Amino acid sequence: MRFNALNRALLQACPGLPLRADEPMAAHTSLRIGGPAALMAFPRSPEELRLCRSLAADRGIPVLLMGNGTNLLAPDEGLAALVLCTTGMTELERTGETEITADCGVPLARLSKFAQVQGLDGLAFAHGIPGSVGGAVYMNAGAYGGEMKDVVDRTVYLDREGELCILSGSEHGFSYRRSVFFDNSGTVLRVRFRLTPGDPKAIEARMTEFAAKRRVSQPLEFPNAGSTFKRPQGYFAAALIDQCGLKGLSVGGAQVSEKHAGFLINRGGATCADMLKLMDLVRDVVQRETGILLEPEIRIL
């Protein structure tokens, strides 16, 4: 009943807002795992997202924010929550000589391509990362020597109370796969990137090179959430897992990729329980054999 009332309130406050009841999370996560969300909304602007959050809070209904779902492991039993999917928030523009501003739902591939066409360098590393701007800033996503911390200049976000706030520069608290948003529970709305002038053809060449490396080294043919574990200081998670002979280890439909040991993949029909059990097995063996405890990089809901 609470979700029916919330559904009505959302449609009244945001006419035309796309809403889906009992929407399978598996359809919105790159692992293709997860039961139904009680209610899923697709806000089309920061204003609609703010209204959705506020109306849910007024009714004591928990809210989950997600973008492309490329770093999420959702539970098999589903979520008794309002899931706000930001894939409809895609405004992207050049806002200065070396600046680009993007909504939280803009895919990183689109962002990096836009920068390349504009002759702005600094985002080539992000071209093959399948996530969106909001999640990338939240976890300081990175690849091939680049990270969000290198290019993020300013972020507009909602705090716990739903108030609009702004962070600049070092206030983001970026560190390895982490930002201040882990601690302040902020909701990223819009991000301004500060880049450097560059040659579009040279930038495109690097993006092509990175894409080729990914195709060769990563199991892109199977549902996955990228690197399952964080990189331990001084080591590489994939190398440790491989060293322990765990490539190909399976639990149900979940498997340690034979192509890249850092990826735990869905070979077909994997459940959240399968993936969690496989993660536990990998961590136990690696800790026993090497003394190093692996920490999840994926977000377990």
Any idea which residues carry the catalytic annotation?
177, 227, 297
> Exposed/middle/buried for 76, CB within 10 Å: 0-12, 13-18, 19+?
middle
d(CA 130, CA 116): 17
- The pair of structure tokens assigned to 195 is 């880049």
Tokens representing residue 60 in the block: 């004591």
H helical segments located in the chain: 2-13, 46-58, 108-117, 133-138, 181-184, 200-217, 237-243, 272-290
Tokens of 281: 């097995």
Residue with tokens 């200081």, as numbered in its chain: 233
Tell me if 263 sits within 8 A of 275, measured CB to CB. Answer: no
User: How far, in Å, CA of 225 to CA of 217, rounded?
Assistant: 15
Short-list 26, 46, 48, 50, CA closest to 301: 26
Distance of CA 121 to the CA centre of its chain: 22
